[in-house]
């Protein structure tokens, strides 16, 4: 693959009590000209995930954040809810005059450190504020996904809602009693965006992988393209790429993806959660670095040709 040129951090922590660190899982929505609205997840003083946006100019990344949300787009769930310890947005779908935010809701556990499941919130004011469709997840535990569901990426095609998401296959106790999670990418369908039917495994483990995370799927002239990330023995994420004729059967692209860690700085340990989109005659990648986006979100670019 062609090499990506890194342009540096374009979104940085905003310093509010609800957004002290991180800009995790960036996803861009075109606004006008070369300005994009990026939805992402900051963390508060207690390391709990929230939901935010910031506007950037991809042709002039040196301008940084042009504007940003002043409060979390979605408050934490009530005590005991599936999202009482974090609300992490992954994608926003415009349909039926509303913005539909699919997100991961986090909760703490005892035998294992956490659980997370997929929630849905809607906005009827252009994405300024969101409200839950339910205090329960729209895709939680079921016989196909008995442990975890998260990181939903959703496309609406001809009235069919299509979701690629991560699903926990199991936990394993290592080094005596330390729980280690295993999750991979699955695929589900829905008629209304709220009730989902798990269908199949989309991307399974390879080699020593134990975490395959954050799928982002786009329709192309040849079928479908997926960017995601995975980690194995060294415990740090790297970007991955796959293609599919139908969104069901996926083939991984061999070799590297044209981007890797830097020698030093904010992305010297990992490169994760890539979001790739086209603008003009170029492709851009929003991504996170060390600490799962602790320092913010970066931008990289390459020619389409």
| pLDDT at residue 98 in the model | 96
The number of domains in the chain is 1
- From the first residue on, what is the mean pLDDT of each consecutive set of 10 residues in the chain (305 residues)? 93 96 97 97 97 97 96 97 98 95 97 97 92 98 97 97 98 90 98 97 96 97 96 93 97 94 97 97 97 98 87
Domain membership of residue 300 (yes or no) is: no
CATH number at residue 137: 2.115.10.20
CA distance 249 to 263: 36
Domain membership of residue 299 (yes or no) is: no
Catalogue the E-assigned strands of the chain: 5-11, 21-32, 35-43, 52-57, 67-68, 86-95, 98-108, 114-123, 131-132, 149-157, 160-174, 178-190, 196-203, 211-220, 223-231, 238-244, 251-252, 272-279, 282-288, 297-303
- Domain span including residue 203: 5-292
Domain membership of residue 46 (yes or no) is: yes
Domain membership of residue 37 (yes or no) is: yes
Domain membership of residue 303 (yes or no) is: no
Domain membership of residue 38 (yes or no) is: yes
Domain membership of residue 298 (yes or no) is: no
| pLDDT at residue 235 in the model | 87
Domain membership of residue 187 (yes or no) is: yes
């Amino acid at each position: 693959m062609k090499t990506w040129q890194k342009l540096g951090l374009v979104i940085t922590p905003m310093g509010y009590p609800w957004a002290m660190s991180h800009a995790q899982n960036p996803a861009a929505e075109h606004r006008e000209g070369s300005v994009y609205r990026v939805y992402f997840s900051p963390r508060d003083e207690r390391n709990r995930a929230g939901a935010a946006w910031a506007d950037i100019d991809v042709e002039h990344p040196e301008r940084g954040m042009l504007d940003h949300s002043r409060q979390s787009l979605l408050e934490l769930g009530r005590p005991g809810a599936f999202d009482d310890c974090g609300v992490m947005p992954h994608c926003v779908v415009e349909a039926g005059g509303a913005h539909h935010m699919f997100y991961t809701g986090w909760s703490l556990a005892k035998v294992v450190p956490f659980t997370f499941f997929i929630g849905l919130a809607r906005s009827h004011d252009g994405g300024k504020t969101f409200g839950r469709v339910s205090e329960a997840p729209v895709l939680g535990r079921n016989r196909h996904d008995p442990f975890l569901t998260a990181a939903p990426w959703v496309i609406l095609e001809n009235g069919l809602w299509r979701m690629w998401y991560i699903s926990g296959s199991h936990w394993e106790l290592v080094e005596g009693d330390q729980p280690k999670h295993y999750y991979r990418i699955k695929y589900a369908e829905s008629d209304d965006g709220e009730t989902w039917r798990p269908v199949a495994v989309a991307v399974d483990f390879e080699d020593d992988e134990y975490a395959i995370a954050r799928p982002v799927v786009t329709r192309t002239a040849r079928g479908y393209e997926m960017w995601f990330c995975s980690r194995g023995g060294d415990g740090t994420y790297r970007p991955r790429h796959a293609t599919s004729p139908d969104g069901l059967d996926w083939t991984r692209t061999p070799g590297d993806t044209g981007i890797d860690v830097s020698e030093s700085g904010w992305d010297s340990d990992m490169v994760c959660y890539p979001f790739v989109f086209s603008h003009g005659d170029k492709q851009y990648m929003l991504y996170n670095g060390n600490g799962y986006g602790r320092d913010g979100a970066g931008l990289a670019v390459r020619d389409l040709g």
